A and B are shown apart, each in its own frame.
Chain A
């Protein structure tokens, strides 16, 4: 798709057509005091070489995962991004500002989305996956709305160990329709099933459980499913698909809707986005599902082809009654995930998961052996865990950052009860040397 500039001639032609002398005349109705009244104070334009130097200087002030050893996680992970991804996504057929969905012109794009949906459905153990949503948090918020639309109930029960930033996005989304959020405490790092039984009842549209949860602990998803279903509620599972080469698929543990952040599947950290909202569900709920959906079909000559399907759910047809306000997807990030999964293959994905969890457990052992440092929870974990530190986690993290180690996320601002804790993630990219160096630096920092 081409970028079409708005030239001076274009502007003149448009102004002449509507009979206006200049662009200023279009703005006369804006009160003078609301206007700046002078040009923006921008520095003069730089030559390309100078501009690149300037931007590189600015970028060098960032602490990124290339120049640092990254143990930061909390929803975005430093997994390896195989080189074919960048090579392939930059092809002109894919690298467009707007995803072309017309089946007449876009069989390649539609096919990659179909493959993405198939892979996500297989990984999550669900029947159907959509073409993606913006990120993990918005996927979860859409799942809450979807549960409400399926069973008409007005409460959503959130496990206490859900990513607190996801909870905030859900709060925003459910404010309009007036759904009530109820939290199930997780004092030991995982869902308290007795407390959940008290919260989840006849008014509950869905119980939301994240596994591994925000603190890294693995939840008993099957028990949560049983509990939710006994109350006639749905179970929504927040899952990180890159872990599912090793961990059991939520769909085989009773999930009705599976959502999650797909960033780990070959999408670079990129300072927080764009990321990949994974969304999958059981077939019986497909008409309540938000987002785009690509289906396989046959054309007039009986050749296999792909087209958007079930579009009557969507906003451009159903207007205000659409299943969702989302009319698009993050096609380029979904393509990254598709190439990632195709590149690693079945064994590769299992291996990446095994390496992540093995290294995370080695790291947990080394770090918890530092005097004064301990694991905050005793629950099983996968690639992320919560450490309790004898000194301020903020100060420790700042100290280690100066040694080019991103130690993890101090939890104080997200959970005051865990003000002495640091959330540490370990992916397959970390080496034994890096983990040992981290343990040594931590020992000095807390000594």
Chain B
């Protein structure tokens, strides 16, 4: 069973979200990176771009697939992980740590509660991940 940290929230599309002093850090889950295989490229929005919950904000490319990335919450992108340009494999090595992708300044605090809890996400991937 893939690692699902209990303090995080999740999307059905396998992104995680972490509250950090009013901001939300976003990445993809350990389950997602296992399914994708070796990540070779990550395309992220620019700082200042606006993302919307459940809408795509970027693309992750592995040796066998390209997948859209979905924003857990709406808001403004205040930071992106520029290291992923040179070292996309970080997403595989440390998906919840150095492999993070965005930090969003949320526009609607209510959206947080609509995200999956760790228990709900664990159940989702136990059912096959869809």
Interface residues of A (CB under 8 A from B): 287, 312-313, 317-318, 321
Contact = CB atoms under 8 A, between A and B. Distances in A.
A58 to B, nearest CB: 49
Contacts of B43: 287
Given A312-B62, A312-B66, 14 more contacts: A287-B41, A287-B43, A287-B61, A312-B61, A312-B63, A312-B64, A312-B65, A313-B66, A317-B64, A317-B65, A317-B66, A318-B66, A321-B66, A321-B68
16 contacts: A287-B41, A287-B43, A287-B61, A312-B61, A312-B62, A312-B63, A312-B64, A312-B65, A312-B66, A313-B66, A317-B64, A317-B65, A317-B66, A318-B66, A321-B66, A321-B68
Contacts of A321: 66, 68
Contacts of B65: 312, 317
Contacts of B41: 287
A321 B64 CA distance: 15
A424 to B, nearest CB: 48
Contacts of A318: 66
Interface residues of B, number: 9
A285 to B, nearest CB: 12
Contacts of B61: 287, 312
Interface string B42-83: 010000000000000000011111101000000000000000
A320 B63 CA distance: 19
A317 B63 CA distance: 11
B90 to A, nearest CB: 19
A318 B67 CA distance: 8
A318 B66 CA distance: 7
- Which of A287, A312, A318 gathers most chain B CB within 10 Å? A312
A227 B68 CA distance: 34
Q: Is the interface of A mostly helix, strand, loop or mixed?
A: helix
A321 B56 CA distance: 12
B59 to A, nearest CB: 8
From B41, B62, B66, name the one whose CB has the most chain A CB atoms within 10 angstroms. Answer: B66
A287 B64 CA distance: 15
Closest 8 CB pairs between A and B? A312-B66, A318-B66, A312-B61, A312-B65, A317-B65, A287-B41, A317-B66, A313-B66
Nearest to B68: A321
Contacts of B62: 312
Contacts of B68: 321
A219 B66 CA distance: 39
Nearest to A318: B66
Nearest to A312: B66
Contacts of A313: 66
B10 to A, nearest CB: 23
A317 B67 CA distance: 10
Contacts of A287: 41, 43, 61
Contacts of B63: 312
A315 B43 CA distance: 19
B98 to A, nearest CB: 23
B88 to A, nearest CB: 12
A103 B82 CA distance: 34
Interface in B64-113: 64-66, 68
Nearest to A322: B66
Nearest to A314: B66
B43 to A, nearest CB: 7
B60 to A, nearest CB: 10
A313 B64 CA distance: 11
Interface in B16-43: 41, 43
A335 to B, nearest CB: 29
Contacts of A312: 61-66
A65 B41 CA distance: 50
B58 to A, nearest CB: 12
Interface string B111-128: 000000000000000000
A283 to B, nearest CB: 13
A317 B66 CA distance: 8
A209 to B, nearest CB: 27
B52 to A, nearest CB: 15
A312 B61 CA distance: 7
A317 B64 CA distance: 8
A431 B61 CA distance: 55
Contacts of B66: 312-313, 317-318, 321
A292 to B, nearest CB: 16
A153 to B, nearest CB: 14
B46 to A, nearest CB: 11
